[in-house]
Structure 1
Amino acid sequence: MLTALHGLLTGRLKMPTRTVDPKSKATENRIERYRVRFDCRAQAALCAQIAGACRLVWNLLLADCERRYRLTRAYGKWTDFPPENRPDLSTSFFTLGQRFIDLRSKPDAPWVRAFLGSPWGRRYRVMDLSWLRDMPCAPLRYTAKYLTDAYTCFFKAWAAAKAEGKSLGVRKSDGKPKGFPKYKRKFDKDDGFTIPDGVRLDGDRLHIPKVGWVRLEGSGLYRGCKPKQVRIRKEGTEDHPKWYAYVCHEVPVDRLKPPAWT
Structure 2
Amino acid sequence: MNNKFGLSNEYTLAKVLQIKHYTRTLFSFKTTRPSKFRFKPGEFVMIGLILRGKFIFRAYSICSPTWHNALEFYSIKVPNGPFTSFLQKITTDSSIIIKTKSTGTLILDSLTPGKRLFLLCTGTGIAPFISIISDPETYIKYNEVIVVLTCRFSQELRYFNYKIKQLLKQPHIESHAKNKLRFYLSTTQEPYPYSGRITWLIKSGTLIADLNTYTLNKRDRFMICGSQQMILDVVNLLKSIGYIEGTINNPQDFVYEKAFVN
After TM superposition, the score normalised by the length of structure 1 is 0.24
Higher share in strand = 2
Structure with greater proportional helix content: 1
TM-score normalised by the chain length of structure 2: 0.24
